[in-house]
Chains A and B, each alone.
Chain A
Amino acid sequence: MKPIEARQQVKLGPRRCFQLALSGMSYRLFRSMITVAILALAVAFLVHMLAYGLLAHETELQAARELRESRALGQILTRVTSPDATASIVDRLAEDDDARLAEYQAWSGLDEAAFAEVVDAARDRAAAREHLISLPLAQRVRLMGEVEAEGLFARLRDADRWQRFADDVEELGVRPPLGDMAAFKQLIDERRPRLLEAASAIHQGHREAIAALDRAYPDRSPRELFIDRPAGLGQTLRELGFAVDDERLDAVGAFARRARDMDRLTELMTEPDVRAAVARRMNISPGDVTYDATLRYVAGGRGDWFASVLADATAPPQLADGEHLTALARDYRREQRLDAVVTDIDIQPREGLFGLPAQTMWLIGLSFMVCVVGVANAMLMSVTERFTEIATMKCLGAMDGFVMMMFVFEAVIQGLVGGVIGVILGSLLALLRGAVEYGGLLGGASTVIDEVAIAAAMSLVIGVALAAFAAIGPAWVAARLAPMEAMRVE
C-alpha cells in the first residue's frame, strides 16, 4: 500500500467566510430579519432599562438636591423668625451639620470642649434611642411600656424604675443600650441632664439672637430684611451667631423675594375681579379658574398676557412685569415637578456600575434567556432549511470549521445589526419615557450621558456575544452534517 497523501485542504480565512455568510443572509433576508428583530428587541430592552435607570436616578438625585437646597433656604428664613424647640435641638445636636452646630455652640455659650461633650452626649442618646426602637416589639413593650424613648429616659432617673429596667434587660438577654449598662446609667443620670440643660440654653440663646436682630432692624419682617439686604446684614447675622455667609445671603434674598411674590399672587388670585378677568381671557367660567391652572398657563410664556390681566384688575405695580410673572410661574411649575419627582429626599448616589435593583437585573437576565432561545431557534431553522446547501458545500470541499464559522459569522452580523437598531431604539425610548416622566427636569441628567453611552456599548457587545453564543449549537449541527445529505433527493 502506498503512503497516504499528506496534502491537506486549504484553510480559508475569515474574509471569504464573512462574504459567504453575508451573501447567504441577503438572500434569506426575511429569516434574517426575524433574528435581527429578536436581538434588536432584547438589546433595546436592556439599553432602555439601563439608560432609563441611570437617567431617572440622576434626575431624582438632582431634583432632591435642588429641593434640599430650596428647603435649606427656607429654613434660614425660619431660623431668623422663630427659635428651635428644645427637643429638636437635642435631636439636631446628634446630626452632622457643621453650620448648625456652629450656631448652637455660639448660642449655648459653652467653650469648645464643653460643647463637644454635649454633642457627644446627644449622639449617645440618639444611639441608645435607636437601639431601643429597633428591638422586637415584645421586648420593646416590656422595656419601655407605652412611652417614647425620651419619656423612658426621663423615668429611668428614678432608682426603682432603673432597677426594674436593668432586671428586664438581663432577663430578656438583650444587648444593653450603648452596649454597657454602666455607660447607659451614666448617660441617664449625668450626661442627659447636662444635654437638656445645654439645649435649653441654646434655645434661649436663639431666642435672644432673634430678638437682637429685631432690635437691629426694627419694623421689618425677616423676609423683607433678606429682600432689602441692608448693608452689614451678613455681618450682623454672623455676630448674632447665625451661620450665613454672604454668598448664601443672595440665594436667601432671591428665595424670599419669590416667596413674597408668590404670596402676593396667591392673594391676588382670590380677588373676584382677577378671577373674572382670567376666566374671560381663558373663556371659562370664573368658578373653574384655579391658581394651579392659571400658573401653568402663564408658565407657557404668557407673562405679558397675565400682567395685562392683573393691570385690568387692581394689581400692585410689583407684579406688572410680564417676564417676571412668566419666571415666577415657571419657578412654581418647577417646584411642583420637583415635589412630584422626588420620592426620597435623602436619595443616595448609585452604587456599583449601574446600581440597578435586583428585580430589574432578573428581568433583564430572563429576557435575554428568552432571546437566546429565540435566536438559537431561528439559527436552527436556518441550518435545517439549508441542509442540502451545507452538505453540497461539504462535498465541494468545505471543512467543518468553515461551515461553523460561516454560521457564527451570520449570527454576529445579525447581532451587530440588531444591536445597533436596539441601541438606537432603546435610547430613544428611554429619552422619551424620561421626557414624559420628568419633563424639563431631565436636562439635569445630561451628566450621566457618559454612563449611558457605556451602557449602550455594553448592551451592543452583549447582544453580539449573545447571538454568537446562540449560534454555536446550530452551527455545530451544521458543521457535523454528513456530506452524504447532498445526495438525498427532495
Chain B
Amino acid sequence: MTEPTTTNVHEQAAAADTGDDRATIIRTLGLEKRYGEGEATTYALRGVDSKIRRGELIAVMGPSGSGKSTYFNMIGALDSPTKGRILIDEVDVAQLSAVELAFLRCRKIGYIFQSYNLISYMTCLENVTVPMTFAGVQPEQARKRGMELLALVGLADRWDHRPIEMSGGQQQRTAIARSMSNQPRILLADEPTANLDLKTGQAILDILERINKEREVTVVCSTHDHRLLNVCDRIMWIRDGRVERVEERKDLTIKLGRIGGEA
C-alpha cells in the first residue's frame, strides 16, 4: 500500500479549520474500520480525518470498494468505528445511548438511499410521515407537513400512490421528502442517482441543491455522477480507505474537462 500523497493538503485544510468549530457539523478523527481478525483483517477505513462544514453541499467521490459507503455509515451514526471518533454537532456519537441515537437519526439526519427504501405497503404520503410518527408528531399535523414536503419535490398530486405505482425518480423524490420530514440539519445521500437515468438524476440533484441552498441543510452526497460537481461546494475524494484529497469546487472548474474525459 503506498503512502498517501495528500497528507499535507489534508493537514493544511484541517489547520485552516481549527478554531472554526461552529462551522463544522460533522468531524471525524482518525476513523478506522476493520473487518476480521489477524491475517484475515481487511481495512475499510484506514484513519479518516475529515470535516464537513455547516450548510455546504459536499460530494464524496471514489471508486467502489474505496470505503466510501463505510464512511457514509459512520457519519450517519449507523455503524460504529473500530477506532477513532465521529462528532456530529460536536457530540461524540459513540457516547450516545440507543434512545439518543434514535433521536439523532430521526431528527438531525435525513437519509436518502440508492434503492429508495420506501415502505412498500404505505402510500407516498404515509412514507413521508413515518419519521414524523416516530418523532411523535400528531397525525393531522404530520399529514399537513407531509403534503408540503411532497409539494416541494413536486409530487403533491401523487400522494396516495404506492411505491410500486411510481417511477424510480418519483420514488427517490418521495424518499427526499421523507428525509426532510423532521427538518434535519444534515442530509446523507448515498448514490441517490445511481439507479436513475440522466434526466431524472438531474432532477434529483436539482432538488438536493435547492434544499441545500434554500433550507441551509448540509448535504453530503456520494456519487459517481460528475454533474454533481457543478453544484457542490467541495469534493472529497476517498481511495483505499483514506481521504485522498478535498477540493473546493472553485479550484476545480478549470480541470473539469479532464475529469469528464476520465469518466
Contact = CB atoms under 8 A, between A and B. Distances in A.
A9 interface: yes
Interface string A1-26: 11011111110100010000001101
Nearest to A6: B100
Contacts of B115: 388, 489-490
Contacts of A483: 78, 105
B73 A487 contact: yes
A2 B90 contact: yes
A489 B114 contact: yes
B91 interface: yes
B135 A397 contact: yes
Most buried by B among A9, A12, A399: A9
Interface residues of A, number: 35
Contacts of B100: 4-9
A393 interface: yes
Interface in A8-46: 8-10, 12, 16, 23-24, 26-28
A43 B111 CA distance: 44
A12 B111 CA distance: 21
A464 to B, nearest CB: 24
B90 A397 contact: no
Interface stretch (B117-125, B203-211, B213-221, B223-231): B117-125
B121 A26 contact: yes
A398 interface: yes
A452 to B, nearest CB: 39
A16 B130 CA distance: 11
Interface in A163-214: none
B214 to A, nearest CB: 23
Interface string B70-109: 0011001011000000000111100111111011011100
Given A487-B69, A487-B190, A397 B102 contact: yes
A5 B95 CA distance: 11
Contact of A12 (B69, B98, B136): B136
Interface string B127-155: 00011011110000000000000000000
A394 B117 contact: no
Contact of A399 (B89, B99, B111, B119): B99
A254 to B, nearest CB: 70
Contacts of B120: 27, 389
Given A9-B134, A23-B121, A396 B96 contact: no
A389 B105 CA distance: 15
B24 to A, nearest CB: 13
B105 A396 contact: yes
Contacts of B99: 8-9, 399
Given A392-B117, A484-B73, 13 more contacts: A4-B91, A5-B89, A7-B103, A9-B102, A10-B134, A12-B134, A23-B121, A396-B130, A397-B131, A398-B102, A399-B99, A483-B78, A486-B117
24 contacts: A6-B100, A12-B134, A389-B117, A389-B119, A392-B113, A394-B102, A395-B76, A395-B78, A395-B105, A395-B111, A396-B105, A396-B131, A397-B103, A397-B106, A397-B107, A397-B134, A397-B135, A397-B182, A399-B102, A484-B73, A484-B79, A486-B78, A487-B72, A490-B115
Kindly list the 3 A-B residue pairs having the minimum CB-CB distance in the complex, ordered from nearest: A397-B106, A27-B121, A10-B136
